[in-house]
Amino acid sequence: MSTPEQERPVSAEQTKQPSFEEKLRGLIEPKVDEEGKVLQEAAIRNEKLQRLSRLALESRNQTPEGLGKLLGKGDDWCLDEQVPEDEWSVLAGELSEERERLLREQVSEEGGEVNQKAIPTEIKLSGLDEFMERMKYLQEETIKSAQKNQESTENLIMAIGYNERIREAYSQLPPEEEKERWVDVELQQDFYARFTPNVEPKFYTRLSSEKRREWDTRWQLARAALWKRINSAEIEKLTQNPDLIELTTEQMEILYNIEGVKRGLEWYTEAILERIEIYEKWDEETGEPIGQATKKSLVECKSGREFEIFRKNLQYSLKREVFGVTKEEEESLAKRAKEGDEKAEDQMRDLRVRVKSADAISWNWMWASNLVESVDSRDSKGLGEDVLRERHGEMPPAICSDDLRAVFHPQEKFEDKASKGQEWGAFGK
């Protein structure tokens, strides 16, 4: 006979299990008291893994396919030692558990027996028949993925909305200041605006038709660069980059003839293929390099911060070698601008705009052309040496799409995975 305690119903609070969202937030957010004092640091503090966790919380990614892609991305980062292994193992456990739950729900909704194709890749494949079945499934999924652009559409809608808010804010600025702000957006690869006649930037409306065409072309390239950035993990979508596909030879000639772009393209190409002299320390007040330069290649960067140092070196080179502004002239302009000389202030702004424009166009072009992904291989010549180079596994996403590089060099990607006992998609371990 049961006791009163046994018969007493269990409350909803007692039986409620934390949701997937609650589990993830418990991992990426620190525990605080009512006064906001931190009681316990977050279990996952790596910036990349925090960003991946937030992507997993978005409804568009809460499907077996969406979480599978995030798991693949995290595995790649862990293999390339871009994220801490202990933090990734914790997060991967939660993502895998939620993915399996969604797969079970999918099966129960469809009714009938378990779909063998939906079994997680953690299950080891054995035998030629199973391998061929998995290859067939991979082909089917690739076709389906190519037919669905929902995720890309959502990302682009966010970018368009962001650009619209920027346009409204920038329209309140004087034209020349507005121009510099738009160049900054282009430099950061955040540009996806498609202006209509009644909402064009003020500085743009004052340009000649020839100059407008120049800006239209560089903005088309900027949109192509953004497309690659937001779709870098989905190879089939990279082939659907409309702005890059529609970029004509004539338009590329327009870009190439913009002041400083030729030098920028040469500089980035040399920095990717060889080691060049790079200053790592700079005087914040004067903008001049400090100490001795060291030989380094762009593909040896391991963080976005290191990449920004490379860009700073290029911009300094453009100021001195292309635009012909000496250290003394720049210091004189800066001093006069600080004293309230509006003409000097305009000259300083014009210099900044020209330098950043050349950098933005040059890197967006290099990025969209996939040069890093295609040449970073052990089968390429070494960095300025007559020997084969090594594959660089720790490059930040701002420089290299690891998924695209795997398409160029699948054997090397597979060997990296196999050497560390990690799974690679349908191929398993």
Our CA dihedral for 255, 256, 258, 264, rounded to 10 degrees, sits at: 110
d(CA 189, CA 398): 10
Residues 6+ apart with CB under 8 A from 4: none
46 part of a folded domain? yes
Q: State residue 428's pLDDT score.
A: 56
Residue 313 banded pLDDT, cuts 50, 70, 90: very high
pLDDT at residue 376 is higher than 90? no
Give me the phi and psi of 330, to 5 degrees please.
Answer: -65, -40
What's the whole-number mean pLDDT along residues 13-21?
A: 68
180 part of a folded domain? no
**Domain final position from 59, 93, 120:** 120
What's the whole-number mean pLDDT along residues 200-220?
A: 93
Residues 6+ apart with CB under 8 A from 365: 221, 255, 261, 265
Whole-angstrom CA distances from 271 to 222, 267, 283, 355, 391 are 21, 6, 23, 18, 16
Give me the phi and psi of 382, to 5 degrees please.
Answer: -65, 175
**Domain final position from 93, 120, 147:** 120
Q: State residue 143's pLDDT score.
A: 47
Give the residue, 71 or 344, on which the prediction is more confident.
Answer: 344
Give the residue, 257 or 166, on which the prediction is more confident.
Answer: 257
Q: What is the pLDDT of residues 385-427, one digit of tens each?
A: 655 567 777 788 899 988 888 888 888 777 777 776 666 665 5
218 part of a folded domain? no
Q: State residue 155's pLDDT score.
A: 52
d(CA 183, CA 264): 16
109 part of a folded domain? yes
Q: What is the pLDDT of residues 184-197, one digit of tens each?
A: 989 988 887 777 67
Q: State residue 364's pLDDT score.
A: 96
Query: Side chain identity at 341, as an amino acid letter?
Result: D
Q: What is the pLDDT of residues 116-144, one digit of tens each?
A: 444 444 333 334 444 445 445 545 554 45
pLDDT at residue 51 is higher than 70? yes
What's the whole-number mean pLDDT along residues 12-19?
A: 61
pLDDT at residue 105 is higher than 50? yes
pLDDT at residue 166 is higher than 80? no
Helix (H, G, I), strand (E, B) or coil at 126: coil
Q: What is the pLDDT of residues 95-104, one digit of tens each?
A: 888 887 887 7
Task: Supply the range of the domain harboring residue 316.
Answer: 259-402
316 part of a folded domain? yes
What does the mean pLDDT of the chain come to?
79
**Domain final position from 76, 100, 120:** 120
% of the chain at pLDDT higher than 70: 75
Give the residue, 244 or 232, on which the prediction is more confident.
Answer: 244
Domain count, the chain: 2
pLDDT at residue 88 is higher than 50? yes
DSSP 324: -
CB-count burial class (<10 Å; 0-12, 13-18, 19+) for 151: buried
Q: State residue 121's pLDDT score.
A: 41
Q: State residue 142's pLDDT score.
A: 47
pLDDT at residue 359 is higher than 90? yes
Q: State residue 405's pLDDT score.
A: 87
137 part of a folded domain? no
Question: pTM value?
Answer: 0.61
Give me the phi and psi of 309, to 5 degrees please.
Answer: -65, -40
346 part of a folded domain? yes
pLDDT at residue 36 is higher than 80? no
d(CA 156, CA 169): 20
Residue 384 banded pLDDT, cuts 50, 70, 90: low
157 part of a folded domain? no
Q: What is the pLDDT of residues 314-346, one digit of tens each?
A: 999 999 999 999 999 999 999 999 899 999 999
DSSP 297: -
d(CA 193, CA 213): 15
